[in-house]
Amino acid sequence: MSSRQFAIQFTVNGQSARVEAPPLKRLLDVLREDLGLTGTKEGCGEGECGSCSVRMNGALVNSCLVPILQVEGSVVETVEGLTVDGELHPLQQAFIECGGAQCGICTPGMLVAASHLLSHTPYPTVDEIREGLAGNLCRCTGFIKIFESVISAAAKKGSQAHAR
Amino acid sequence: MTASSNLRTVGTPQLRKEGVDKVLGRAKYIDDLEREGIWYGATVRSTIPRGRILAIHYDARVDWSEFVIVSAGDIPGKNHIQMISADQPCLADGQVNHCDEAIVLIAHPDKRRLPEALAAIYIDYEPLRAVLSIEESETQEEIIWGPHTSEGNIFKQFHLEKGNVDSVWAEAAYIVEGEYRTGAQEHLYIENNGAIAEYDEVTGITVWGSLQCPFYVHKSLMAVFDLPAEKVRVIQVETGGAFGGKEDYPSILAAHAGLLAMKARRPIKIVYDRMEDLAATTKRHPSRTRHRTAIDKNGKLLAMEIDIATDGGAYATLSSTVLSRATLHSTGPYVCPNIRITSRAWATNTVPCGAFRGFGAPQSIFAIERHMEQVALAVGLDSDEIRRRNFLHDGDTTATEQVMVEPVILDTLLDRALEVSDFHARQSEFARLNPLSPVKRGIGLAAFYHGSGFTGSGERYLNSLAGIDVTTDNKVRVLVSSTEFGQGTNTILTQIAAEALGIGYEDVIMAPCDTGIVPNSGPTVASRTSMVVGKLIERAGRQLVTGLRQDAGLLDNYSTQDFFTSCLRYRELHGKVESLCRYEAPPNIYWDDQHYRGEAYPAFAWAVYVAEVAVDTTTYSAEVTNFHTVQEVGRVLNPTLAAGQIEGGVAQGIGYALYEKVLYNNGHMLNNQMTNYIMPTAQDVPSISVHFEEIPFAHGAFGAKGIGELPHDGPAPAILNAIQNAINQSFTSIPLLPEDIFIRVTSDAHEQEQITV
Amino acid sequence: MRGNPESHHFIDAANLDEILALLAKEPGEWTAIAGGTEIMVAHAAGRLSAKKLINLWGVPELSNIVVTETHLSIGGGVTFNQIRHDATIIAEFPLLAQAASWIGSIANQSRATIAGNIVNGSPAADAPPALLVYDAEIELISHKGTRRLAYSDFHTGYKQSLLLSSELVLAIHLPRHHEQQIKYLRKVGTRRAMAITKVALAGTASSVHHAITRIRIAAASVADRPLRLIATEAALLNEPLNESTLSRARKALWSEVRPIDDLRSTAEYRKQVIANLLDEFLTQIARSSPS
């Protein structure tokens, strides 16, 4: 395998992606530069801020710390994949309604981390939300409206499930 | 107290205008934008705090023909970025005055080649003695700025006298003195600074950027490129947080990108990484404030003598206006017949300090609200009682002799704060339980005001213009240079327009924030957007409705459809549907710049904040366990956004108090990484309760006053007051880290240890 | 982003044997990368000196937690997310599960591996104190085979260890104790989450009639390496928990820690806080001791 260009195939938001990139290129850069998925943001480049959060094979990861070689054959989900049939995800709706997004730069990563949390903890307590989102720094909201957004989305998802 | 109203849009939680784009990840920030044929720029920065540049070497192992290189000699116009003084070079020429000052710019089509190229440019310096603290600057042994006289190293000074301070010391029942310090603080917007520039001989220069003040950048570019106004265009793109940190710095960055674009004849993008952004861009001014206060036997203030010193960094930038606001907030919300304030902003060889939410007020409010706590102890009154006895009321005068003509309801705010926090009961409970636990809990409060809008004559000089127009596809557009960077500008201004026009929120949009399209409604700073710019939009809306009634047959009780139908008619008559309004100062507002006297602000927002803390005596760490805010900000335009401003500001204030420390080594920021510059996470922010009292202010949009900066003013003193309540130790400096608490609480124990060991 | 991915050679291998063969063939040339939570940070900062990298992420031989009658074995490539959620670890080695849950954030835990945490050699690493009090053994593998040593001997200095350039961490083995133990773990950081340890102390103990019959204590960020506090343990073993024992324990503690000043804290603070944590642990022993 060449170190300069490396052909890699993986799935992003349900669609197959094939790129050629240096194997150490960050997943973050591949998403943004090679695939045009600029919803995933870079805030620190060192896994501290969570702006680049995506899910990889069901795990929450900082895409700035994942070399693309390790993504071969993986399933990656980004903020662009959160909508369902063109409809806003309950979390997206709740972030708008509850004021969970201010400047919006942390929002994509925050939403991905929150959706990861709800995927294994459908009705999280505030403490569970605090822990689940602790790796996603927001400088605008003081986090309070983000917690409210997650709680609201969880409640709505629950009531939808009941309705069915 | 809730303002009665028949408003339809204002005061309701309308959804954030650009919210859908943000949650979809579709909003385009500067680093999400590319242009055909773009190259990427990077900056060679000084590695010493002060010195002469002797030579610049380019390592021959790099093929420099692939790069475009720009230095001071390439600047077609003036080599300075002027905020207030023309002292800051766009690129250092011959001398550097702080670490990380820009010297050379390079650009290349492959951004990944830039770091190695930067490392291959070497600069020879003749180091000069650097001045790295307020105290060193004050000695004036080394003059690094200004004349070699007693004025040397001083960016600005104010002296203010009210009454006769010297007359009362002898009669005072108590005299309390104290010195209080605040550290630098980084804005830590999650989106770093960035800009894209394009240059064309015919059209001139265009810059897209993450920025707060498009017309500041516009003015800077005109000077640097020696271009007329019409050949400079600045476009704000979605901006990922600012907090004042994108008020002045983007002018430098835009000029850098522009210079490279002009030389390269291609679009240039410069986006800083976190390390560069932290090391090279502005911080909050560090400060030292000394108080000497005379109090009578009843706890009433007789005299306040206040001395403020701020560290402005290497260039003047905004230091004079930051100092002014610090000065005007330094007495707190108290009435005192005799006041003397002396304040100075000092030059040091550190990265220039700049605007940061609160703009000097958090520094001086920290000092006065910590000091009042010591006054309370000296007099033997409770924290609330000492404040209550000295609060400003309607008709009282401030330090600048401004008469409080608008209602002041500090007593109500204090009562409410005591009630929602259960202050006295909590205090007793903690006092009872603390002896039983290694974790000591405490509760503290702070009372304060924040002046809305520019200080003094600022708004008159700005002379802002703003308005609305109606497009042919029936959208009302808000025409302002006021920017959205999370605080909600888009939402509240469109709400105001919709309200004034009597149409739906969804029928109003923001015009692109492009200096080629929108008028100059002033910078987005100083908690002025809701009150000042909002008022212009309200007036423009009413003016348009009047015009439509007069010229286009708009009747009473019109529907949205009627409105747009009459707009069509108006357009046929006038060619366009546009309504602009220029700033008019509220009546009876007078400010004397020369004597620093008069109406410092047209309105004030008022607040009382309460913090609960837990101090762990095992680890010496303090954390905030609960926080209550009560404030009067005029009309609340959007309750969701307003509460979001308060919560976010409190969180930033908690960081300022307990977590965020900028460490310097010889003028260079040592901890310029998010892993070492510690801001509060989701697990560190306590529950924050937000309570508004609303007294509409006649000269603000639908009664609004300023709100954005207020919440950063109160947390630090409230928290340190709570810590004093918890462990009976008076700390006077922030950030207050566990290591600082450790030194204080163990100093006695250590002495004993050394004797016995 | 200050690193250039094209300046580094980065390859995948078919299996563990191939990786080991490569490490043996070109000793010192290759750096293994698993979750990347250290190496990718260095890369972004432009200070990744390793020019040749070999992928360890997802190597099956390193990815499992295995429970036998006598031991629990954690593969070197096991992530902290796996560790904090593993039922046996939660039940029998709760301090390790706890430490895992304090590492960085959820996103860091899903990538950071136990071998990475160890091999990186940071004195502030979160897992080592727990591993040290559980008498962990570390098993190293090279093309020649495996060797197993006491983990307490593994770190030899600041970022120095017994790991040879041809070796990888195959597994960590924890002997399963079934006796009732008093356990203690506390991490002190500047904030609650995403914190790098300023001081941490882990401890396990058994006591009978107020005397300590078995004790293990280990600490982070108080020396050039993760440290088992042998002298402190000795001062406490078989001693009654009284004032004079406590005083001797503290002296022993201060004789074996070497805290420093750095960006995150001060030596003096660390010295005092580690003693306070020890006090807290001993108080807990005294409280739980059956009389």
pLDDT in tens, B279-301: 999 999 999 999 999 999 999 99
User: B287-455+596-748: which CATH topology?
Assistant: Aldehyde Oxidoreductase; domain 4 (3.30.365)
**Final residue belonging to a domain, choices A78, A112, A136:** A78
Provide the β-strand partners of residue C71: C175
> In this structure, what is the dihedral angle of CA atoms B239, A148, B621, B190, given to the nearest 10 degrees?
-10
**In this structure, are residues A5 and A45 in contact, taking their beta carbons and an 8 Å threshold?**
no
In whole angstroms, give the CA distance from residue C114 to residue C128. Answer: 9
**In this structure, are residues B502 and B562 in contact, taking their beta carbons and an 8 Å threshold?**
no
pLDDT of residue A160: 61
* Encoded tokens for B506: 């969804």
- Least Cα distance to B293 among B243, B241, B345, B334 occurs for B334
**Final residue belonging to a domain, choices A78, A113, A130:** A78
Query: Band of the pLDDT at A4, cuts 50, 70, 90?
Result: confident
Output Rg (C-alpha) for chain A, integer angstroms.
16
Range 266-295 of B in CB contact (< 8 A) with A = 273-274
Where exactly are the structural domains of chain B? 3-28+464-582, 33-128+193-271, 287-455+596-748
- Least Cα distance to A113 among A67, A156, A161, A52 occurs for A52
Nearest by CB: B673 against A39, A46, A79: A46
Containing H/E element for C89?
helix C87-92
Which chains neighbour C (Cβ–Cβ under 8 Å, 3 or more pairs)? A, B
pLDDT at B254 over 60: yes
Within 10 angstroms of residue B406's Cβ, the number of other Cβ atoms is 18
pLDDT at A162 over 60: no
Pairing of strands A6-12, A15-21: antiparallel
Q: Is C1 helix (H, G, I), strand (E, B) or coil?
A: coil
Interchain contact A125–B (C-beta under 8 A): no
**Residues A74 and A97 reside in one and the same domain:** no
**Residues A96 and A72 reside in one and the same domain:** no
Interchain contact B115–A (C-beta under 8 A): no
**In this structure, are residues B696 and B344 in contact, taking their beta carbons and an 8 Å threshold?**
no
Within 10 angstroms of residue C224's Cβ, the number of other Cβ atoms is 15
Q: Is B555 helix (H, G, I), strand (E, B) or coil?
A: coil
Interchain contact B24–A (C-beta under 8 A): yes
Range 636-675 of B in CB contact (< 8 A) with C = 659, 663, 670-671, 673, 675
Q: Is B584 helix (H, G, I), strand (E, B) or coil?
A: coil
Total tally of structural domains belonging to chain A: 2
Q: Which residue of A1, A2, A3, A63 to mutate against C (max C Cβ within 10 Å)? A: A3
User: B33-128+193-271: which CATH topology?
Assistant: Aldehyde Oxidoreductase; domain 3 (3.90.1170)
**In this structure, are residues B636 and B693 in contact, taking their beta carbons and an 8 Å threshold?**
no
Nearest by CB: A22 against C6, C45, C108: C6
pLDDT of residue B4: 47
Q: Is B546 helix (H, G, I), strand (E, B) or coil?
A: helix
Please identify which residue in the block is written with the tokens 């307990």: B658
Burial of A115 (0-12, 13-18, 19+ CB in 10 A): buried
In whole angstroms, give the CA distance from residue A139 to residue B144. Answer: 35
The strand ranges marked E within B373-492 are 439-452, 465-470, 476-479
Q: Which domain, by its residues, includes A17?
A: 6-78
In whole angstroms, give the CA distance from residue B400 to residue B330. Answer: 12
**Residues A99 and A42 reside in one and the same domain:** no
In tens, the pLDDT along B104-161 reads 999 999 999 999 999 999 999 999 999 999 999 999 999 999 999 999 999 999 999 9
CB contacts of A22 in chain C (<8 Å) are 5-6, 8, 10
**Residues A121 and A147 reside in one and the same domain:** yes
pLDDT of residue C280: 97
pLDDT of residue B588: 82
Kindly state the percentage of chain C with pLDDT values over 70: 99
Chain B to chain C, count of Cβ pairs less than 8 Å apart? 69
Mean pLDDT of B265-279: 98
- Tell me, yes or no, whether A32 lies in a domain: yes
Containing H/E element for B418?
helix B410-421
**In this structure, are residues B90 and B80 in contact, taking their beta carbons and an 8 Å threshold?**
yes
For residue B261, the one-letter residue type is A
In whole angstroms, give the CA distance from residue C19 to residue B736. Answer: 49
**Final residue belonging to a domain, choices A28, A47, A78:** A78
pLDDT of residue B688: 98
In tens, the pLDDT along B423-460 reads 999 999 999 999 999 999 999 999 999 999 999 889 99
- Compute the nearest-CA separation of C111 from chain B (Å): 17
- Compute the nearest-CA separation of B20 from chain A (Å): 7
Q: Which residue of B17, B20, B23, B505 to mutate against A (max A Cβ within 10 Å)? A: B23
- Least Cα distance to C119 among C150, C56, C163 occurs for C163
In whole angstroms, give the CA distance from residue B658 to residue A43. Answer: 23
pLDDT of residue B748: 62
**In this structure, are residues B492 and B638 in contact, taking their beta carbons and an 8 Å threshold?**
yes
Output Rg (C-alpha) for chain B, integer angstroms.
27
**In this structure, are residues B578 and B468 in contact, taking their beta carbons and an 8 Å threshold?**
yes
pLDDT of residue B84: 85
Sheet holding C71-75, edge to edge: C65-67, C71-75, C168-175, C137-142, C145-150
DSSP string, C119-140: HT--TT-SHHHHHHHTT-EEEE
In whole angstroms, give the CA distance from residue B718 to residue C218. Answer: 38
Nearest-Cα residue of chain A relative to residue C192: A134
In tens, the pLDDT along B411-426 reads 999 999 999 999 999 9
The verdict on a CB contact (< 8 Å) between C191 and B273 is: no
Containing H/E element for C243?
helix C243-256
- Least Cα distance to A110 among B484, C107, B272 occurs for C107
In whole angstroms, give the CA distance from residue A130 to residue B304. Answer: 44
Mean pLDDT of B228-234: 98
In tens, the pLDDT along B573-628 reads 999 999 999 999 988 889 998 999 999 999 999 999 999 999 999 999 999 999 99
- Give C270 or B4, the one with higher predicted confidence: C270
- Least Cα distance to B538 among B386, B349, B703 occurs for B703
* Encoded tokens for B207: 């810059």
Does B287-455+596-748 match B3-28+464-582 at the fold level?
A: yes
The verdict on a CB contact (< 8 Å) between B486 and A134 is: no
In whole angstroms, give the CA distance from residue C36 to residue B722. Answer: 42
Interchain contact A5–B (C-beta under 8 A): no
Interchain contact A44–B (C-beta under 8 A): yes
In whole angstroms, give the CA distance from residue B92 to residue B209. Answer: 23
**Residues A62 and A95 reside in one and the same domain:** no
Interchain contact B190–C (C-beta under 8 A): no
> In this structure, what is the dihedral angle of CA atoms B720, B723, B727, B729, given to the nearest 10 degrees?
0
Q: Which residue of A13, A76, A83, A139 to mutate against B (max B Cβ within 10 Å)? A: A139
* Encoded tokens for C33: 């990368």
Nearest by CB: A108 against B25, B242, B681: B25
**Residues A94 and A74 reside in one and the same domain:** no
In whole angstroms, give the CA distance from residue C13 to residue B549. Answer: 78
> Rounded to whole angstroms, what are the CA distances from B363 to B141, B156, B321, B329, B656?
27, 17, 14, 9, 10
- Compute the nearest-CA separation of B469 from chain A (Å): 26
Which residue blocks in B618-659 are alpha helix, DSSP H? 639-658
Mean pLDDT of all residues belonging to chain B: 96
CATH number at residue A141: 1.10.150.120
Nearest by CB: A47 against C11, C53, C108: C108
- Least Cα distance to C65 among C181, C221, C174 occurs for C174
Interchain contact B684–C (C-beta under 8 A): yes
pLDDT of residue B211: 98
**In this structure, are residues B115 and B276 in contact, taking their beta carbons and an 8 Å threshold?**
no
CA atoms within 13 A on the CB side of A140: 27
pLDDT at B1 over 70: no
* Encoded tokens for B257: 């990108």
Interface predicted TM-score (ipTM): 0.97
- Compute the nearest-CA separation of B390 from chain C (Å): 37
CB contacts of A104 in chain B (<8 Å) are 18, 21-23, 27, 238, 240, 486
The verdict on a CB contact (< 8 Å) between B619 and C191 is: no
**Residues A116 and A63 reside in one and the same domain:** no
Range 251-290 of C in CB contact (< 8 A) with B = 263-266, 268-269, 272-273, 276-277, 279-280
The verdict on a CB contact (< 8 Å) between A135 and C45 is: no
Nearest by CB: B239 against A103, A106, A130: A103
**Residues A102 and A74 reside in one and the same domain:** no
Pairing of strands C52-55, C30-33: parallel
Query: Band of the pLDDT at B83, cuts 50, 70, 90?
Result: confident
Mean pLDDT of all residues belonging to chain A: 94
- Tell me, yes or no, whether A1 lies in a domain: no
- Tell me, yes or no, whether A84 lies in a domain: no
Query: Band of the pLDDT at A3, cuts 50, 70, 90?
Result: low
Q: Is A72 helix (H, G, I), strand (E, B) or coil?
A: coil
CATH number at residue A22: 3.10.20.30
Q: Is A43 helix (H, G, I), strand (E, B) or coil?
A: coil
Q: Is C27 helix (H, G, I), strand (E, B) or coil?
A: coil
Mean pLDDT of C127-151: 98
| Cβ-based neighbours of C116, under 8 Å, separated by 6 or more | C34, C35, C37, C38
pLDDT of residue B522: 97
In tens, the pLDDT along B4-28 reads 468 999 999 999 999 999 999 999 9
User: B3-28+464-582: which CATH topology?
Assistant: Aldehyde Oxidoreductase; domain 4 (3.30.365)
Kindly state the percentage of chain C with pLDDT values over 90: 95
Nearest by CB: A137 against B18, B20, B681: B681
| Cβ-based neighbours of C276, under 8 Å, separated by 6 or more | B618, B619
- Least Cα distance to C202 among C234, C158, C233 occurs for C233
The verdict on a CB contact (< 8 Å) between B189 and A139 is: yes
pLDDT of residue A157: 76
